[in-house]
Structure 1
Amino acid sequence: MRIDAAILGASGYGGGELLRWLSGHPAVASLRGTSRHAGRAFGDVHPNLSGLVPGVLEEAIDWSSFASSEQPVVFSALPHGELAGLLPGLERAWDRASIADRVLLLDLSTDFRGVEHRPRFVYGQPEWNREALAGARRVACAGCFATALELALLPLRGLDVGFLAATGATGSSGSGATPVEGTHHPLRAQDFRAYKPLAHQHLAEVRAAMAELGIQGDLAFVPQSAPMVRGIFMSLQFRLPPGLTGEGLAARTADAFRDAPFVRIVTGSPRVGAVAGSAFCDVATASDGRNGAVLTAIDNLGKGMASQAVQCMNLALGLPEGAGLRVPGCYPG
């Protein structure tokens, strides 16, 4: 299969990560990107790509140039709220270019993650929605916190666990490339704080996932800003339901991820430094006999964003799930 890929919003952190992952994908034959920085080379905006990923950012894509493409794929890394307004016009342009029935669209924003957009948009979280992604043409990729938390919840499928408490610490890159008070490095490097406690926007998609997984329980989530650039560390804590031991929790976790090529079960604690720059999620469990915990670590720009979108693309197109993605992260992170 020959893929011609276009990235809307290719100058942000998510767009840069998509360029990095797609440039090494064996099925991607061409790679283009739009940005307000039109005319600048990919490597000028993303210096890690300099000399490695050729291309120039464009103001807009001429979709007629995709008319002969075997498989056009569009990734949207636009700010939240933008794709929803642009999509009707994009779909008309794809229709005029005679590619509408072939385009695979993967959105990295919040615009189409809600249950009201299904089944038109398949929710892009491969570890528990793999079957639905096969053959999909519209994918709403899961959020970064949602991914880390849903992967922690997956071993609890079908259980009534009462109250669940989750805390998740994230790096500054999750807030985008434009510095604001909460992400500007001098204000964050020596600080640690909570933000949007019990009210983060990813809670809605996580609660929808819980319903689909048959997990009964009241979830409270407190996100935190950590003094790091990349990564999310998630801790999910709960009272073990009757009949479930710590050993049983570990066994359920192993079973949940038996066929998940980008989830690694580790002993002790997962480490953000071991997954930074990679497409992997590391998972561990803990128990004191009465309480249980599932711990996860991901790269918020990788498994929480760009590499997960590529993983969804692979599944949607029937490609090997790990195509272009089985690359170790950098250690130390």
Structure 2
Amino acid sequence: MKSVDVLILGASGYGGGELLRWLSNHPAINSIRGTARSHAGKPFHAQHPNLRGLIEGTFEAAPDWVALSQSEAPVVFSALPHGELGKLRPEFEAAWQAHGLIDRLTIIDLSADFRLDPTWVYGLVDWKPERMKGARRIANPGCFATALQLALLPLAEWKPAFVAVTAATGSSGSGAAPLDTAHHPTRANDFRAYKMLSHQHEAEVLRTLATAGWEAPLSFVPQSAPMVRGIFATLQFPLPAGIGEEALRAHFEAFYRDRFFVRMVEGSPRVAATTGSAFADLSVVARQGHGAVLVALDNLGKGMAAQAVQNLNLALGLPEWTGLKNAGGYPA
């Protein structure tokens, strides 16, 4: 097993904290460093109190490319805000070139900056996972996009004429910085839709489905739910003639038969059963020519950091579940 040294850019946010949590128990990781200018010099547990006593280290003001260049397997996870890595890329690439990292460095970006860039591998792990092997530039999918694509990709063979999607997310999806829409007192006892038919994750979903041969007629309404973590998506569509619930379920089970972190469940999936884990839970139902797929996952886990670690594992030739075989807490 290679000895991996990790640098997390933007390690003070929720994504950075989840990466620290997962990587702290990863058997291939030799060292972990993290940057956060506004928290430089403070210990990781100052921002992530759940990590106290589990992982040592302090936030650094800037990346130490010299130290990373000494690694057998150097890795960068970028958990910077959307747009930041794109702006910093020319400066970083000059530094990587100067320190012999440009062709050795594995970069996994959690932001939206490169999800539509064909020069980066789109890191939806459970769709053609062989794409990840040896990848050096990986764009991690969005959380909503992960849930929707897991539900939609098995349907590409049938190409339903219309798919209606409603999907609710927890407040942590808005990031660690306080926002009016994510502030707990205004959200805790409320439920609302937002960015109706215009969510930014729709573009990456449609591109993946087009690659799979389906120009999907998608109608997506995201919703803000009174929970901290989790996504719950419901997709409804017309079924091909002769396809009932048993056949629909068999189709999904066959599609995900070898995908360890996608679980088919009976009845409704439960957000609480996936919280803090790398799993996505799916179920299907069919009645009178109409089908529905339901998906639950943790937006910070399978929808972000845990999937990023899956991408790392496959890129480096490790079993994809390395460091990730943990159940979430239940009840959440």
C-alpha displacement of 1:215: 3.0
1:97 maps to 2:96: no
1:29 match: secondary structure: strand
Partner of 2:65: 63
2:217 match: secondary structure: strand
Q: TM-score, normalised by structure 2?
A: 0.98
Q: Which runs of 5+ in 2 are unaligned?
A: none
C-alpha displacement of 1:8: 0.3
C-alpha displacement of 1:231: 0.2
Contact 2:151 2:235 (C-alpha < 8 Å) held by counterparts: yes
C-alpha displacement of 1:80: 0.2
Partner of 2:248: 249
CA distance in 1, matches of 2:64, 2:281: 41
CA distance in 2, matches of 1:251, 1:244: 11
CA distance in 2, matches of 1:311, 1:152: 19
Partner of 2:114: 112
**Where do residues 110-259 of structure 1 align in structure 2 (5 Å cutoff)?**
110-114=112-116, 117-118=117-118, 120-259=119-258
CA distance in 2, matches of 1:85, 1:238: 40
Identity value in percent: 59
CA distance in 2, matches of 1:242, 1:92: 57
Contact 2:210 2:216 (C-alpha < 8 Å) held by counterparts: no
Consecutive aligned runs of 4 or more in structure 1 exceeding 6 Å deviation: none
- Counterpart residue type for residue 2 of structure 1: S
Partner of 2:25: 24
CA distance in 2, matches of 1:239, 1:71: 48
1:227 match: secondary structure: coil
CA distance in 1, matches of 2:214, 2:23: 35
CA distance in 2, matches of 1:243, 1:122: 37
Partner of 1:324: 323
Contact 2:143 2:299 (C-alpha < 8 Å) held by counterparts: yes
CA distance in 2, matches of 1:266, 1:214: 28
2:228 match: secondary structure: coil
C-alpha displacement of 1:216: 4.3
Q: Which runs of 5+ in 1 are unaligned?
A: none
1:82 maps to 2:81: no
CA 267–55 in structure 1, closer or farther in 2 if over 3 Å, else same: same
Contact 2:238 2:290 (C-alpha < 8 Å) held by counterparts: yes
Larger mean CA deviation between 316-325 and 88-97 belongs to 88-97
Q: How many residues align?
A: 330
- Counterpart residue type for residue 280 of structure 1: F
CA distance in 1, matches of 2:93, 2:13: 23
C-alpha displacement of 1:84: 0.4
Larger mean CA deviation between 265-274 and 123-132 belongs to 123-132
CA distance in 2, matches of 1:217, 1:66: 43
- Counterpart residue type for residue 74 of structure 1: V
